Amino acid sequence: MLRIDALSKTYADGNKALDTLDLTIGAGEIVALVGGSGCGKTTLLRLIAGLDTATSGQIRLDDAVISGPSADVGVIFQEPRLFPWLTIDDNVAFGLSDLSAFEREGLVANALTRVGLSGHGHRWPRELSGGQQQRAAIARALITRPRLLIMDEPFSALDPTTRQSLHRHLLSLWDESRPTVLMVTHDVEEAVSLADRIIVMRPNPGRLHEEFPNLLSRPRDRMGTGFESLSRSILKSLDQSLKPAPQPAARATAGEAAWW
Amino acid sequence: MTFPASTTQAGAPPAERLDAPASPNVAAGTMPVPAPARRWGTGGIVGFVLPFALALVWEASVRLGFSNGRLMPPPSRIGATLWDLAQTGELASHAAATLWRVAAGFGLGAAAGTVLGAVSGASPVMRRIMDPTLQALRAIPSIAWVPLFILWLGIFEASKVALIAVGVFFPVYLGVAAALSGVDRKIIEVGRVFRLSRLQMIRRVTLPAILPAWITALRTGLGLGFMFVVAAEFMGASEGLGYLLVDGQQLGRPDRILAAIIAFAVLGKLADGLLVVVTRPLLTWQDVGRDRL
């Protein structure tokens, strides 16, 4: 279980990216964060990954406080970020250096099969398409069996067909160990087809705006009425989350205009 | 070689695929005539046309009496001189002396450049302390050190090696420092996510990431090493290809000068080729054809 208590992050330039955010995610739950730019989605993920430190507040995974990168947290970035000097096999096995070569081979072969890359293990990243590279990155993140997986718009650079096949691969790998998943996406359809819960965030500063439980049964039919109505209400909420401009900011702009 | 390598590997039967990662460049070597190589080949032949034509014209004009060829000897005489030098063993001993100096100077300069470049690239504080001084020293034309080196180190080998080392040092230092400070933050973050220690991060991420730039820097340094060995051998050498140049001038033997120049060109190209071949297995993963450099 991931518990986030009163988490705030203010960057050195004074930009308040997150403001006292509370969020609890149950074990094995898949949660999608959607929101306009500047609402602190990526900041939140970076804090949970331990790549940045929070200004105040606390993140706890089960009973451990997260203060840096942890073995229990797997990360999938927007780009594949494979190491170009390692073969796909070695890239996927990057987090397994403690294991014997034999154990490693078995795990890597299994993970590559799960993401549909079996037989590609000996190739260099540059020889793979963008979708294949991202699949290798998914395998690399999940092979260490983290209890929490965080993903920052992992499929945004891919075309819709590739994206859907990656959703299947991701769910197949997820099914092996059922980690908690927290993902950021711009694509509402993607959120609805993957997540158990969708959270809309609000910008300036980043806060939670509205939550949508997703009770649709898997596999989800993109054409179904339930899918569509949920997508529509999320889009509506997204629209609202961006609309209400905070009053003080508006006054400041007016004052500025009058000044010169 | 990028494109054919990927197609052969993609189309290879599973049995062949297994040994591909173990010896990637062997696989690359046995592949059926790669298209870019063929293009390089015809380009190479076309490239030979102009120098050969010029050589033939010069040879003919000397033979037909348009020129006496005293100051600019015809190719046949240069060839004969080279042959003579090779026969008497002079060429080999001069070349060996030059190569030894380049190797010693290159080794010292490259080692110092790599170490200081690594320190300056890895630590912003050290960079602020060291870099301005080194940049100031770099602004001095390296040949200007010669009188000082001769006073300090004598006119024998030490001063020559020192001059070559200075020449090699700067490109290697700059290359390593720039490569280190330019390592992609995104890929470093992946290392952080996997909780690599400082040492592991260097071994598994930073070193491989800067390897291509380091090798390019070494090649630049080696080229400069050959440049500076000539300067070094101009003053007070009794052997070496550079000595052969000066000797040819003093004896009024342009054929010997040109023979030495050709020997320099061949040695320089061979040394560079050797560096490329030795380092190629380290860089098979790269997305560019280094051979075309």
pLDDT of residue B17: 40
- C-alpha A232/C-alpha A220 separation (Å) is 16
Distance CA B67, CA B60 (A): 10
Provide the angle, in degrees to the nearest 10, between the axes of the packed helices B207-234 and B90-122: 140
> Is the Cβ–Cβ distance between A139 and A112 less than 8 Å?
yes
**For residue B203, how far is the Cα from the chain centroid?**
26
Mean local confidence (pLDDT), A48-57: 90
The model's confidence at residue B43, banded by pLDDT at 50, 70 and 90, is: low
Q: Which chain A residue has its CA at the smallest distance from B185's CA?
A: A81
B86 exposure class (CB count in 10 Å sphere: 0-12, 13-18, 19+):
middle
Are residues A51 and B192 in contact, defined by beta-carbon separation less than 8 angstroms?
Answer: yes
Locate the chain A residue with the closest alpha carbon to B193: A69
Q: What is the mean pLDDT of residues A222-231?
A: 84
Cα B64–Cα B70–Cα B76 angle in degrees, nearest 5? 60
In a domain, B43, yes or no: no
Residues in chain A with CB shorter than 8 Å from the CB of B9 are 122-123, 127
Cβ neighbour number for residue A199 with a 10 Å cutoff: 22
pTM of the predicted structure, to 2 decimals: 0.75
Interface of B with A in 208-267 (CB under 8 A): 208-209, 211
Crossing angle of helices A160-177 and A130-142, rounded to 10°: 10
Question: Which of B230, B225, B116 is CA-nearest to residue B175?
Answer: B116
**Cis geometry, peptide bond prior to residue A219 (ω within 30 degrees of 0):** yes
Helix extents (H) in A34-159: 41-49, 88-92, 101-114, 130-142
Backbone angles phi, psi at A216, to 5 degrees: -60, 140
Q: How far apart are CA B193 and CA B3, in angstroms?
A: 33
Whether residue A184 is contained in a domain is answered as yes
Token pair of A36, please? Answer: 């306009």
Asked if B190 is an interface residue toward chain A (Cβ–Cβ < 8 A), one would say: yes
More confident position, A83 or B43: A83
Can you give the pLDDT at residue B42?
59
Measured distance CA(A52)–CA(A181) in Å, rounded:
19
B115 belongs to a structural domain: yes
- Three-class secondary structure of residue A21 per DSSP: strand
Task: Tell me the CA distances in angstroms from A189 to A34, A117, A228, A231, one per residue in order.
Answer: 11, 25, 9, 6
Total domains in chain A come to 1
Within A109-232, strands assigned E span 148-152, 180-184, 197-202, 207-213
Whether B10 has its CB under 8 Å from any CB of chain A: the answer is: yes
In a domain, B155, yes or no: yes
CATH number of residue B214's parent domain: 1.10.3720.10
Q: Which domain holds residue A162?
A: 2-72+146-259
**Chain A residues with CB-CB distance to B192 below 8 A:** 50-51, 69
Asked whether residue B49 is domain-assigned, the answer is no
Q: How many domains does chain B have?
A: 1
How far is A155 from chain B, CA to nearest CA, in Å? 17
Q: Confirm whether A164 is domain-assigned.
A: yes
The b/e string for A121-153 (b: 16+ C-beta within 10 A; e otherwise) is bbbbbebbeebbbbbbbbbbbbbbebbbbbbbb
Per-residue pLDDT of B115-144, as tens digits, reads: 999 998 888 899 999 999 999 999 998 888
pLDDT of residue A244: 61
Among residues B189, B263, B200, which one has the least CA distance to residue B226? B263
In this structure, is residue A117 part of a structural domain? no
The residue type at A140: R
How far apart are the CA of A94 and the nearest CA of chain B, in angstroms?
8
What's the CA gap between A202 and A41, in Å, rounded? 10
Which pLDDT does position B70 carry in this prediction? 80
Lay out the sheet containing A148-152: strands in order across: A73-76, A148-152, A180-184, A30-34, A197-202, A207-213
Q: Do B215 and B281 contact (CB within 8 A), yes or no?
A: no
Question: What is the rounded distance in angstroms from the CA atom of residue B228 to the CA atom of residue B167?
Answer: 7
* Tokens, residue A244: 């209400």
> Is there a contact between A83 and B205 (Cβ–Cβ < 8 Å)?
yes
Q: Which strands make up the sheet holding A56-61, listed edge to edge?
A: A16-25, A2-10, A56-61, A64-65
Give, as one character, the DSSP assignment of residue B283.
Answer: G
- pLDDT of B192 reads 92
Better-scored residue on pLDDT, A208 or B79: B79
- Nearest-CB residue to A123 (from B9, B190, B192): B9
Tokens, residue A6? 């009163």
Residue A185: alpha-carbon gap to chain centroid: 7
Q: Which of B21, B193, B208 has the CB atom closest to A122's CB atom?
A: B21
Answer yes or no: is B238 within a domain.
yes
**pLDDT tens for each residue of A178-215:** 899 999 998 888 899 889 999 998 887 878 888 888 87
Q: Which domain holds residue B201?
A: 76-292
Averaged pLDDT, A60-75: 88
Please state the φ and ψ torsions of residue B245, each to the nearest 5 degrees.
Answer: -65, -50
Tens of pLDDT, residues B152-188: 998 888 999 999 999 999 999 999 999 998 899 999 9
Is B2 within the bounds of a domain? Answer: no
